[in-house]
Amino acid sequence: NVTFRGGYAKTRPSFERIPLATSDAATAMLVAKFQGSGYYEESNTVAHMIVVAGGKVYKLTPPASGINWTVADITGSVTVSATRERVHMIQADEYLIIQDGTNSPYIYSDPASGSWPQPADDELNRVPVGTGPMAYGNGRLWVAQGRNFVAGDILGGTEGILKFTENTHLNGGGS
C-alpha cells in the first residue's frame, strides 16, 4: 500500500467511490455481474473507464463540470459472454480490444457510432480469440492463447494492427 509518485515513498491514496449520473445504463451496470474494467483514451485525448458487466460494455466519462460521471452502454450488436468470470482488455493505438476467451474479440474504435473494425473477410488473419491477457507494445498487439502468444501486424504496416499476417515471420514463426 505504498506509492512512489513524486519520487518519495508514501501511503497510497484511499479508494474513492465514483458518483454516477442517474441513467438506465448506470442502473443496469451496477446490478450486473462485474467482469472487468480498463482505461481507454480516445484520439481527442478524452479519457474513459470501460466496464464490462453482465456481458455488456459500458463507457464511463468523467464530468466536465460537477461530480457525476456519465455511463453509456456501448455494447451495440456485438456482446461479450455474460457467464465468463473475467474479461481481458487492452488499448492498441485507437482500438479497444476486449476478449472473453470464447467469442470473437469485441473491438471498439469510433466514439461517435461505436464501430467494430474486425475484418470479416479474412477469418484466418484477424485478431484471434484470446484466453488470457493481451499486450500492446512496439506497435504490435500480442494475444495470449493458453501458454502461447501470437503477434499482430506492425503499426504503420500495410495491413494494420488488427491483422495477424506477419506472425509466421517472427523469429521462427508460429506462437
pLDDT tens digit sequence for 100-127: 998 888 888 865 545 554 544 455 568 8
- Residue 141 C-alpha cell reads as 498487439
Per-residue pLDDT tens for 61-86? 999 888 999 999 988 777 789 999 99
User: Cell triple for residue 110?
Assistant: 469510433
Span 41-55, pLDDT tens digits = 886 778 899 999 999
Q: Rounded to the nearest 5 degrees, what angle is found at the Cα of 79, between the Cα atoms of 73 and 80?
A: 105
Computed over every residue of the chain, the mean pLDDT equals 85
> Do 94 and 66 contact (CB within 8 A), yes or no?
no
- Which amino acid makes up residue 41? E
Residue of 32 and 174 predicted with greater confidence:
32
Note whether 133 and 153 are within 8 A (CB): no
Q: Please name the residues in contact with 125: beta carbons below 8 A apart, sequence gap of 6 or more.
A: 119, 159, 163, 164, 165
| Cβ–Cβ < 8 Å for 106, 117 | no
> To which residue does cell 523469429 refer?
171
- The three-class DSSP label of residue 135 is strand
Percentage of the chain exceeding pLDDT 70:
85
Q: Is the pLDDT of residue 168 over 90?
A: no
